[in-house]
Amino acid sequence: MRERACEFTVRHSSAANAADERQRGGGMSDASERSGSGTTIGFVGLGIMGSPMAANLAAAGYRVLGYDVSAERVEQLVTAGGMAAPNIAAAAKAQIVITMLPDSPQVEEVVLGPGGVLENAVDGALLIDMSTIRPETSRAVAERAAVQGVRALDAPVSGGEKGAIDGVLSIMVGGDEAAFAAALPVLKVLGTTVVHVGASGAGQTVKAANQLVVAGTYALVAEAIVLLEASGVDASAGLDVLAGGLAGSRILELKRQSMVERRFAPGFRIDLHHKDMGIALAAAREADVALPVTGLVAQLVAAARGQGYGGQDHSVLLKVLENVSGRATT
């Protein structure tokens, strides 16, 4: 376990340097904000995304008190400069509390449940939920938080594990404008695109739109690879051309080579993207709009789970489309 913790520190040293560079470049408004002001942040949820995010906050000078169900992940944060919280209640007593959890049920349990964040939060605390969940769950959290004197924001992120490590996430924030202004110095440590998009729940709606575009792009890149290879064309060379033209995208920039090489180690798991596509479809029903392409892509993501790829990266949609074409590779 100690060896893994050391690897975590080395892996995130570039992220810490990036945070330092952003801060020296004037990303924060004054010297006290650049140093983190000694502010304590309780961070609940140290998974693939949460771990590097918490480490970046510690590198920026914040006192990060982290909790996760995995003791190994907590130890990794301690090695990266954070502190261990013995339970959710301890983490919840910070001035700022960030949650990064898998889905709505976990947020409801951790934030709204007995012994949870709101039950233990200090008056005037700022709660930033950075999970990707249903918009209605975010609205329910904000309503309950307001009753208890806590300011709540929904602030889901995009950019994957690499974006979290490098501190260059895109963060879409829903909630009160004054609360957003208070959270901005913290969010600027974690991302380079930080936008207040509306009232509570709006951040989650924007994230749903993000996820349908991401999944659709992966599906189309996968189809392009299948077509190129079936036609006897070097897929690597072909995708290099696509990446430099109008078809270029962040996905082509970051994932084209790993897809061609069939490397699907999870940066963002199919299981989670399946959940997100369900959120997108539910949001479409609530808004009374038809999203036919989203429906088709959601079925491809569901097929990936059905074919046993749930724990692999969402770029594994390539395997699904190979299977559909009868061109499965090992």
Q: What are the phi and psi torsion angles at 173 (to 5°)?
A: -120, 130
190 with 171: CB under 8 angstroms? yes
Q: Catalytic residue numbers? A: 207
Tokens 């010297």 sit on residue: 31
Q: Which amino acid is at 229?
A: E
Q: Which amino acid is at 93?
A: K
10 Å CB burial of residue 288 (0-12, 13-18, 19+) is exposed
Cβ neighbour number for residue 94 with a 10 Å cutoff: 23
Cβ neighbour number for residue 218 with a 10 Å cutoff: 25
The CA distance from 134 to 129, in Å, is 12
The CA distance from 9 to 191, in Å, is 20
The CA–CA distances, whole Å, from 212 to 61, 132, 151, 191, 248 equal 35, 13, 29, 21, 17
Q: Look at residue 79 and give its three-state secondary structure.
A: helix
Question: Which residues, in sequence order, are bridge partners of residue 171?
Answer: 157, 194
Q: What are the phi and psi torsion angles at 329 (to 5°)?
A: -110, 165
Q: Which two tokens stand for residue 311?
A: 């724990």
Helix and strand totals (H; E) in the chain: 17, 9
